[in-house]
Amino acid sequence: MRREHGQVAPVLLPGDVPAWFVLGHRENLEVMRTPTSWSCDSRNWNVRLPPDSPLLPLTAWQPLLVFADGQEHARLREAVVDSLGKIDRHSIRRYVVRYTNQLIDSFAHTGRADLVTDFAEKLSALVMARQMGVGEADALPLGAAVRDMVKGSETALQSNSLVVSIMSDLVERKKAGPGSDLASHFLSHASNLSDQEVMEHLRHAIVAAHENTTNLMANALLMVLTDRRFRANLSGGSLTLPDALDQVMWDAPPLSVGAFRFARRDINLGGQLVRAGDMVLLGLAAGNVDPEIRPDLHLPLPGNRSHLAFSAGPHECPGQDIGRAIAETGIDTLLTRLPDLELAVAESELDFSTSLVSTRLNSVPVRFTPRRATPAAQEPPPVAQPLPAVASPVVEPVAVAAPRRSWWQRFLGRG
């Protein structure tokens, strides 16, 4: 598409709906960072979809942060950012370690597991549900419903109903008995969110957080298991785990396509004339491999966080540090306890599914030496710092004894 059309390409969405696909890194940033030219409000779209269009669940306007512009966006984003800021970051790390060990204990004795269905999906659901205020008994059913809903299966509508029901009940419970959780923070915020707005933003938060965090962990673990270049940089000490996650977000971002935008007026973008009301799709994965900024895709990018995985501008993901914390701490704990993980199938047999916005890794079967469960009192603390403010610098190895080797030294140093 880039060779034929340049950095912005005309495309047809399901139902032969016309749109523009933004391929260039610079052009993606231009759209993300100029809300005066590009609206998030789908009511500005110059297309009216039929009631059976598969695009409706993604594009139909809702009273949500992601569809808001201007002052309304500022009001909603302030509530989201402030409420997320009140979540105890240190407690996230503790819960990630706890739940990771519980999940490993459930399959460690078998010597086999699926790192998506047995680990990444469940860990993300358990941690995020707790931060939101959802009871532990509802966490895994909630996570399964979110994944089913995003997949667009035949039961997606029923799954969405379950998510709405759990979040509506959560709002009522927290109105009666607030706590230190995201739902309570939303309800008490000075922006005076309505109950409906709180429920909708909780629903949106669990969908975005669960799907993206699960995909990030799955993609990172796959790279560790299959990419020799990736392994070599880790084992050689040229990549820290935070750097490694950034590399994953360059090469395999959790979302391939970001939120839609709608032109407020006729605009020349990347050499194409985009008419007022036209839809543009933000190509996150495409922008990350733009040859103008990455002429050699084999060169590692340690410490470089200018990827598009979390978007940019006023709609940049407000919870990205939490997603990184879950992925970083969870992967570190997993590979510390199971350092001899290896794929149980050929790489060509891995199961992927694609949608309009992402390529999802559905399964990563692995095998390892069977192990006993680890008593809770002896849970090994992970090396990784869960919430690095900036990318960790590359540190040259020094001859200093450490209490234990890092997971990548154990995992990659085996014969």
pTM of the model as a whole: 0.86
Taking the C-alpha atoms of residue 182 and residue 184, their distance in angstroms, rounded to an integer, is: 5
- The pLDDT of residue 151 is 76
Mean pLDDT of 81-108: 94
- The pLDDT of residue 234 is 64
Residue type, 8: V
Q: Are strands 351-354 and 17-22 parallel, antiparallel or unpaired?
A: unpaired
Q: What is the pLDDT of residues 35-71, one digit of tens each?
A: 999 999 999 999 999 988 888 878 889 889 999 999 9
What tokens does 316 get?
A: 């940049």
117-121, 211-215, 358-362: least confident range? 358-362
More confident residue, 160 or 368: 368
- The pLDDT of residue 48 is 94
- The pLDDT of residue 375 is 61
Q: Indicate the pLDDT class of residue 158, thresholds 50, 70 and 90.
A: confident
Mean pLDDT of 127-132: 95
Model confidence at 17: pLDDT above 90: yes
Q: Indicate the pLDDT class of residue 222, thresholds 50, 70 and 90.
A: very high
- The pLDDT of residue 45 is 97
Mean pLDDT of 83-100: 93
